[in-house]
Amino acid sequence: MYYDPYDIAINADPYPVYRRLREEAPLYYNEAYDFYAVSRFDDVARGLLDPETHPSGRGVILELIKSDTEIPPGTLIFEDPPRHTIYRRLLSRVFTPRRVAALEPKIRELCAVSLDPLVGSGGFDFVADLGSQMPMRVIGMLLGVPEADQEAVRDEVDARLRTEAGKPMELSADFGAEMFGDYIDWRLDHPSDDIMTELLHAEFEDETGAVRRLSRDEVLTYVSVIAGAGNETTTRLIGWTGKLLADHPDQRRALVGDRSLVPNAIEEILRYEPPGPHVGRYVAQDVEFHGTTVPAGSAILLLVGAANRDERRYPDGDRFDIGREVGKHLTFGHGIHSCLGAALARLEGRIALDEVLDRFPEWEVDLAGARLSPTSTVRGWETLPVTVA
């Protein structure tokens, strides 16, 4: 029994290993990289819900936790209460349900810009032509990044998540935040209706009781985190949508005939192939799983991809079924660190699928040209070319 998040062969299809972990080693220890892992739904959910035992302040990526890197303030996903509570409330102002729902016409327009020129071409790439285009434009528009610069920002964010095959991710001291410095400096003197402007001018009471605005460095880090989360994971969701519905043509045809099935189909895709297959946590105090104590000071991986297919939660969990009653999956996390952008990701996924089905009701994947992305933090397609009727 061996599990390694950097192993290329395992990453190509981790689910047989996940199944064995759930049954044979629900608490697993990897000696080479010195980390523990849990794979059952209840254990992963428990880890996500216990910020005192499994804090986020040391990072949520194994490489960060093991490196003992000092994490700058403002990362949010790498923070713990009470600071996390205050800053999450501040950031949630820019992702209200009303604000997200109002984006639908613009998202449909951006999908049309990407897809309309492809009609009659005989094929396209789910990632290059749609997945890496529409989410980039949406988050760029929300942040206030000029349209001409959006691709460069996306490429920089993506590059920081890439790894050399079979090796951990190289860490950056500034988390890529400084790439947004010029935009933020411009927005200070030229306010607009975007997230940068809102963060620069929002007043709040911080953890010391002081009423203030965010510092420039804090805004830089927030914007960097939003840009990364808003680009990479939604791109992978769209790629998996193309792959899974090509693999299950009968279910794709059901969607063509009944678009009311699309929202639940997106939930099943998120459950079945989560873009973030695992979440790391530092172990702040001794904790027991399945009769074994994980000592304080350890690193633990919460295997979301394994938990989402746990038969104890989802009967026949390795079967893809858009009619399944999905309920609560763990793809967007659980508890205080659940993803703030979940509603936006769902909306983008739903609209992207709907717009593709309008133009291309049938497609097949060109597996010879398809390639998984080389990263240990997210799992999805770097390229996914398809042929269409």
306: exposed, middle or buried (Cβ count in 10 Å: 0-12, 13-18, 19+) = buried
How does residue 184 score in pLDDT terms, banded at 50, 70 and 90? confident
- The CA-atom distances, in angstroms, between 143 and each of 138, 198, 264 are 9, 9, 29
Distance between CA atoms of 352 and 53, rounded to whole angstroms? 39
49-66 pLDDT, tens digit per residue, is: 999 999 998 888 898 898
pLDDT at residue 165, as a whole number = 55
Work out the mean pLDDT of the chain and round it to a whole number: 89
> Token pair of 106, please?
């613009």
Lowest mean pLDDT among 121-125, 203-207, 249-253, 292-296: 203-207
CB contact burial 329-363 (16+ within 10 A = b; e otherwise) = bbbbbbeebebbbbbbbbbbbbbbbbbbbeebeeb
What was the pLDDT predicted at 173? Answer: 46
What is the pTM assigned to this prediction? 0.91
Cα 89-92-98 angle, rounded to 5 deg: 140
Query: Residue 193: pLDDT above 90?
Result: no
Strand order in the sheet with 385-388: 123-125, 385-388, 363-365
Walk me through the domains of the chain, giving residue ranges and CATH numbers: 8-388 (1.10.630.10)
pLDDT of residue 316: 97
Q: Picking from 168-182, 255-269, 353-367, which range would have the lowest pLDDT averaged per residue?
A: 168-182
Neighbouring CB atoms inside 10 A of 322's CB total: 23
Which tens digit of pLDDT belongs to each residue from 230-287?
778 899 999 999 999 999 999 999 999 999 999 999 999 999 999 999 999 999 999 9
In this prediction, residues 129-149 reach a mean pLDDT of: 87
Residue type, 56: S
pLDDT attached to residue 171? 47
In tens, the pLDDT along 103-126 reads 999 999 999 999 999 999 999 999
CA of 387: how far to CAs of 123, 367, 384, in Å? 4, 11, 10
pLDDT in tens, 303-347: 999 999 999 999 999 999 999 999 999 999 998 989 888 999 999
Asked whether residue 150 carries a pLDDT value surpassing 70, the answer given is no
Our separate counts of H helices and E strands in the chain read 16, 13
Element (H, E) at 197: helix 195-201
- Nearest-angstrom CA–CA distance, 27 and 43: 9
* Residue 173 tokens, joined: 């001291």
The tally of CA atoms less than 13 A away on the side-chain side of residue 110 is 22
Encode pLDDT of 65-90 as tens digits. 988 777 766 677 788 888 888 888 88
Q: Which long-range contacts (CB under 8 A, 24 or more apart) does 331-334 make?
A: 331/270, 331/271, 331/274, 331/275, 331/276, 331/304, 332/270, 333/48, 333/279, 334/45, 334/48, 334/49
